[in-house]
Amino acid sequence: MNSSDRVLALKYRPRRFEDLVGQSSVSQTLSLALDMKRLPHAYLFSGLRGSGKTSTARIMAKSLLCEHGPTSKPCEVCPNCVSSNSGRHLDVIEMDAASNRGIEDIKELIEHTKYQPSSARYKVFIIDEVHMLTTQAFNALLKTLEEPPVFVKFILATTDPLKLPATILSRTQHFRFKAIALKDIIHHIEHILNIEHITYEPKAIELIARSGHGSLRDTLTLLDQAIIYSKGHITASCVTDMLGLIDPSLMERVFEMILKKQDTLDIVSVLQDYETDLIIDEMGIYLKQQLLSKNMLFNSLIIDRFLRILGDSKYLLNLNSDGEFVLILMVSKMVEAVKLKTIDTLIKEIEKRNCEILEAPQNVVVPRVEQLQQKVVEQVAITTPKEVYEEEEIVAVNEPEVGVEVAVNTQVEDNIADVVVQQLQPQEDVSLKHYQNVIKTLFERSYDLGNCFEQNFLFKGFENQPRTLHIISIAEGDCKQLLWKNFAYIRTVIEDFYGVGTLIEFHKQNPEDVKKKLLDDEDSVKEELKEENCNTDEVSSMIEEEAFGSGCVADIATLQEPKMASKEMQLNELLNSAFVNKAKELFDPKRIVVRSRI
């Protein structure tokens, strides 16, 4: 048979110990044993399929029978070497235990051990898949395997050494063949393709080698198939189509969309063309590659979360769950896993928020009924036609700066006097704003919880030292039970805005009293507005009388400078007026400045 007609797995089968791929420890030990003439009577080779067990057994047999041996480097030209390479040597007996597994077959083999080798130094028995022998066959082989003739050598090969009796294992020298490393398989494939003059893409070779799962024979079988399918030029797209794998570019696109938290429904519809278990395996391999390549987008925490999700999805598939549903759920969980923050990040955010609270100015906040008394500067200004200014300051000892600007302007052209009361914008109350944010957060969690909190817990004030939040409580019935049930969460939300360790002090009040007080406050505000209008009319009429007197005497009076006593009288009347007194009572001004144009 022409060598060009043979499959690659047979055409490039190892013939020397140096040709073994990925089994350096086994080949080195056997070579040294041959060179040192320390040869046991029985060997056991175990390992993954396609890892080189049978090939090593044949090389070992050839090395034992070579005319220049036993040697680790057979001459390849003597009759024994040539016969061994062609598989026609009479003293090399191979038996497949899978098809010759009975006691009668072992009896026949034992009968052959009684005769001397026909032409070589030893008679070598190679028993492949030895774990398939029956218990009776193993028992029949024990005595011969323990004390064979000096010219007999046994080489046993198996893929499952655990099925062998302990009596067999104790009579052999055991060599374990490991799965061949991916890089060794890729190097071997490239070597073969260069000899065969076939072009390829490196990514395609990697896909083929990975699909062999450590078995060189399986990999070479796939390589034969890929050469045929790709018509002599092996590409990654051809390999993925041939093996039904996911294209690497598609896998990169999937994880790119997951990391960017984009809508993955379109990409999931594309992935549905593949088996879900295959997708999970491919994702695991992709994540392993990213971890080994130290991709900054895939840190160890993200990879750990993704692998847990893949494991859960694999478990769901084992429960015969719907594959399409498991795929959608898996991708959705991966997107959510990217959004999660680490504990260290959350701690840093809380510490930063606490620092902002400590650095922010803490203002005294008045109860809800008295919120009309804000921090402003009160000025009362009286303007007359002449551009002469005099100031008189009256300082009141009150604590916070609160103010109202009251402007009383006398305009000659309009012949009327307008009194304008303008309230300045207060400074932003940080504590009250935090309280409103607490209510907003509770509403986001549960509308009922937020509504009960807003209606039954009224903000009273906040103390900085010690950090204490004062709340007026009028909760009763179902709302009280709901608030008590969720109090742990409410405390957490309050600490998020006011700082960790914030004390909460409740001031219990009767709901009917609070409602009555609110109604009284509304009535008082209405009365204040009415008095304000009345005072404005009084001041206007007073200024009108002074500015527009009757007859010529009045005209002369407007041209003359008012006396000092008259000015003091006007000032006292203005400061002691009901309107100004009500303003002082309402706003508690620290300073009142009266400016007069005379």
Same-domain check for residues 401 and 529 = yes
Same-domain check for residues 96 and 194 = no
CATH code where residue 81 lies: 3.40.50.300
Residue 9 is assigned to a structural domain of this protein: yes
Is the per-residue pLDDT at 189 higher than 90? yes
Residue 22 is assigned to a structural domain of this protein: yes
Mean pLDDT of 84-104: 90
Same-domain check for residues 89 and 229 = no
Instruction: Pick 244 or 567 by higher pLDDT.
Output: 244
Long-range contacts of 290-295 (CB under 8 A, 24+ apart): none
Q: How far is CA 11 from the centre of its chain?
A: 49
Count of alpha carbons within 13 angstroms of residue 261, beta-carbon side = 5
Quickly count: other Cβ atoms within 10 Å of residue 314's Cβ: 16
The last residue of a domain, from among 243, 276, 292: 243
How far is Cα 515 from Cα 82, in angstroms, rounded to an integer? Answer: 111
Same-domain check for residues 53 and 121 = yes
How far is Cα 415 from Cα 409, in angstroms, rounded to an integer? Answer: 11
The last residue of a domain, from among 339, 362, 394: 339
Q: Is the pTM of this model over 0.85?
A: no
Give the count of domains, the chain: 5
Task: Give the pLDDT confidence of 353-382 residue by residue, as tens digits.
Answer: 777 666 555 444 444 434 434 433 333 333
Same-domain check for residues 8 and 105 = yes
Task: Give the pLDDT confidence of 119-147 residue by residue, as tens digits.
Answer: 888 999 999 999 999 999 999 999 899 89
Quickly count: other Cβ atoms within 10 Å of residue 50's Cβ: 23
Residue 188 is assigned to a structural domain of this protein: yes
Give the residue numbers spanning the domain of 37. Answer: 3-177
Residue 364 is assigned to a structural domain of this protein: no
Task: Give the pLDDT confidence of 391-420 residue by residue, as tens digits.
Answer: 333 333 333 333 334 333 334 334 433 333
Same-domain check for residues 554 and 502 = no
Same-domain check for residues 117 and 22 = yes
Q: How far is CA 288 from the centre of its chain?
A: 16
Task: Give the pLDDT confidence of 427-473 residue by residue, as tens digits.
Answer: 347 888 888 888 988 888 888 888 888 888 888 888 877 788 889 88
Q: Sheet harboring 468-473: ordered strands across?
A: 457-463, 468-473, 503-508
Residue 359 is assigned to a structural domain of this protein: no
Same-domain check for residues 443 and 532 = no
How far is Cα 278 from Cα 247, in angstroms, rounded to an integer? Answer: 12
Residue 169 is assigned to a structural domain of this protein: yes
Residue 345 is assigned to a structural domain of this protein: no
Same-domain check for residues 581 and 542 = yes
Same-domain check for residues 258 and 202 = no
Same-domain check for residues 328 and 391 = no
Question: Structure tokens of 218?
Answer: 């399986």
Residue 309 is assigned to a structural domain of this protein: yes
CATH code where residue 506 lies: 3.30.300
- Sequence-separated (6 or more) residues with CB below 8 Å from residue 92: 58, 61, 65, 84, 124, 126
Same-domain check for residues 500 and 548 = no
The last residue of a domain, from among 177, 202, 231: 177
Quickly count: other Cβ atoms within 10 Å of residue 476's Cβ: 11
